[in-house]
């Protein structure tokens, strides 16, 4: 579960937060409960959050298919199809969808991840049913010709060039996933390998749509100044003829155990060297039980999230305080854990050494700090602060319609109950210093570690500009 790091002035703020937290936690748990969570007869799941604070409505449609559901030779299909969803239906011309939303005074976009693909529109409440009808149209009646596909695949390839091939961090992260994972499709980039993109066809995209875009793989989330029953009734009308798709025969692709350190070096034009350290770490997915204090995997996932905050919080993080501010050995340090996912996960630390510090030296300093945590654990004071920060992050997310809807859509698309949001806080309250020490000792071991180092090349070594569409890419 992602968390928002609290970065406000410390002592006074946290004293107020401590007094306010019991009420805030109860408020957050109430806000995470949808007003309606029900399925249509064809399997389409509908989740609605009523919120009267402003006359707006957010509409999201989620498909439970992403890059980990692709096959070798056809990577990038989920993202390519996301682009093609804006290229016309039986009744709308290419580009007309976004024009209609804009004419209603709204905004729209889409996103692709490893485990899902999502689409959203945010409008005035009075325009909600209109954008629901637009979305229902393309979910059921998408139509694009080969010429549109040929143009759009060039846009996707240019997006890959700009965000990966010409990006030091993009190249490093791609190398990380390809090195850390050997069998599981999470090793493939979401945007796809360039050679696969060059060979995809319009029929490949159509088959992806025909396979995955069905009510049994979809969730609609609506949040805002709406009436739950009215929304559900309207969705029944819009989707009543949408037929479920056959179950997809996906064979399990378990990742073999890692039995030693893995390393790779990437060379690219960049100002500074940096590195990414990544340890195999547990995630919690569809078959891993409820997020509860007596679920060992749930405890590990929550504890790792707290460890990430312990290490890289901008005000109090150990790595930031010791290596960036005090000793000035690093320009930046960030960490993160995958948490809830349908795929295997990593705990990552990315760091940029200061001038005069080598990557090897900085890696050694980080290792010593991690070893110290694994041996000694954390103080009661640190543990109390971590709980407050994590609670605050969850509470503040509930103040945003978009965050609430995103949480619900992600959880539904990963086969998790929406109660995970509030259950996370319950588990958090039970985490002890020994849990943090234990997961640090179990996770931060050399045999589970992958290290990617970025070796900077001079700016003049950058390849000549490619022909293409330039830096202005479509929003989706």
Q: For every one of its 476 residues, what pLDDT tens digit does the chain have, with 9 covering 90 and above?
A: 333 223 333 333 223 333 333 444 444 444 568 999 999 999 999 999 999 999 999 999 999 999 999 999 999 999 999 999 999 999 999 999 999 999 999 999 999 999 999 999 999 999 999 999 999 999 999 999 999 999 999 999 999 999 999 999 999 999 999 999 999 999 999 999 999 999 999 999 999 999 999 999 999 999 999 999 999 999 999 999 999 999 998 777 889 999 999 999 999 999 999 999 999 999 999 989 999 999 999 999 999 999 999 999 989 999 999 999 999 999 999 999 999 999 999 999 999 999 999 999 999 999 999 999 999 999 999 999 989 888 887 777 777 889 999 999 999 999 999 999 999 999 999 999 999 999 999 999 999 999 999 999 997 665 544 433 333 344 45
Is the CB of residue 143 less than 8 Å from the CB of residue 84? no
Is the CB of residue 338 less than 8 Å from the CB of residue 184? no
Strand partners, 347: 279, 337
Q: At what angle do helices 10-31 and 380-397 cross, to 10 degrees?
A: 50
Of 173, 155, 207, 428, nearest to 304 (Cα)? 428
Predicted confidence at residue 23, as pLDDT, reads: 40
Predicted confidence at residue 33, as pLDDT, reads: 86
- Extract the tokens encoding 184: 């599981």
Strand partners, 124: 56
Of 263, 276, 280, nearest to 353 (Cα)? 276
Domains identified in the chain and CATH numbers: 35-239 (3.30.830.10), 257-458 (3.30.830.10)
Predicted confidence at residue 249, as pLDDT, reads: 85
Q: At what angle do helices 433-443 and 380-397 cross, to 10 degrees?
A: 90
Of 434, 57, 360, 19, nearest to 224 (Cα)? 57
Predicted confidence at residue 254, as pLDDT, reads: 87
Q: How far apart are the C-alpha atoms of 301 and 307, rounded to whole Å?
A: 10
Is the CB of residue 440 less than 8 Å from the CB of residue 378? no
Is the CB of residue 379 less than 8 Å from the CB of residue 433? yes
Q: How far apart are the C-alpha atoms of 439 and 300, rounded to whole Å?
A: 6
Predicted confidence at residue 32, as pLDDT, reads: 65
Predicted confidence at residue 392, as pLDDT, reads: 83
The DSSP code for 89 is B
Predicted confidence at residue 462, as pLDDT, reads: 55
Q: How far apart are the C-alpha atoms of 423 and 417, rounded to whole Å?
A: 10
Predicted confidence at residue 296, as pLDDT, reads: 96
116: number of CA atoms within 13 Å, CB side? 25
Predicted confidence at residue 3, as pLDDT, reads: 31
């Amino acid at each position: 579960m992602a968390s928002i790091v609290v970065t406000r002035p410390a002592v006074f703020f946290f004293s107020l937060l401590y007094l306010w937290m019991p009420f805030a936690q109860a408020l957050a748990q109430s806000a995470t409960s949808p007003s309606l969570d029900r399925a249509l007869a064809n399997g389409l799941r509908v989740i609605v959050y009523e919120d009267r604070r402003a006359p707006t409505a957010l509409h999201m449609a989620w498909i439970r298919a992403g890059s980990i559901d692709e096959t070798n030779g056809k990577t990038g299909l989920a993202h390519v199809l996301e682009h093609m969803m804006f290229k016309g239906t039986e009744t709308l011309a290419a580009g007309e969808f976004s024009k209609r939303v804009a004419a209603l005074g709204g905004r729209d976009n889409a996103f692709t991840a490893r485990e899902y693909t999502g689409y959203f529109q945010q409008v005035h409440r009075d325009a909600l049913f209109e954008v629901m009808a637009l979305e229902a149209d393309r979910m059921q009646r998408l139509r694009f010709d080969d010429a549109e596909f040929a143009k759009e695949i060039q846009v996707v390839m240019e997006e890959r060039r700009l965000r990966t091939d010409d990006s030091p961090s993009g190249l490093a992260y791609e190398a990380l996933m390809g090195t850390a994972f050997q069998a599981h499709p999470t090793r493939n980039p979401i945007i796809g390998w360039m050679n696969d993109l060059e060979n995809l066809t319009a029929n490949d995209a159509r088959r992806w749509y025909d396979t995955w875009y069905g009510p049994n793989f979809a969730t609609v989330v609506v949040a805002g100044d709406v009436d739950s029953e009215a929304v559900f009734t309207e969705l029944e009308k819009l989707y009543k003829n949408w037929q479920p798709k056959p179950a997809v025969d996906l064979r399990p692709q378990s990742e073999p155990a890692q039995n030693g350190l893995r390393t790779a070096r990437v060379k690219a034009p960049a100002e500074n060297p940096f590195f990414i350290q990544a340890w195999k770490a547990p995630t919690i997915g569809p078959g891993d039980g409820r997020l509860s204090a007596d679920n060992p995997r749930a405890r590990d996932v929550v504890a790792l999230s707290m460890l990430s905050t312990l290490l890289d919080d901008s005000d109090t993080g150990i790595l930031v305080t010791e290596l960036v501010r005090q000793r000035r050995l690093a320009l930046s340090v960030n960490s993160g854990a995958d948490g809830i996912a349908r795929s295997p996960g990593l705990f990552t630390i990315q760091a940029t050494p200061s001038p005069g510090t080598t990557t090897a030296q900085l890696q050694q300093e980080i290792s010593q700090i991690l070893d110290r945590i694994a041996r000694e654990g954390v103080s009661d004071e640190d543990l109390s602060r971590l709980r407050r920060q994590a609670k605050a992050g969850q509470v503040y997310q509930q103040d945003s319609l978009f965050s609430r809807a995103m949480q619900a859509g992600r959880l539904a698309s990963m086969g998790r109950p929406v109660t995970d949001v509030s259950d996370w806080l319950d588990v958090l309250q039970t985490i002890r210093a020994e849990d943090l020490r234990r997961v640090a000792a179990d996770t931060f071991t050399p045999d589970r570690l992958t290290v990617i180092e970025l070796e900077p090349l001079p700016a003049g070594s950058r390849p000549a500009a490619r022909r293409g569409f330039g830096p202005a890419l479509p929003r989706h």
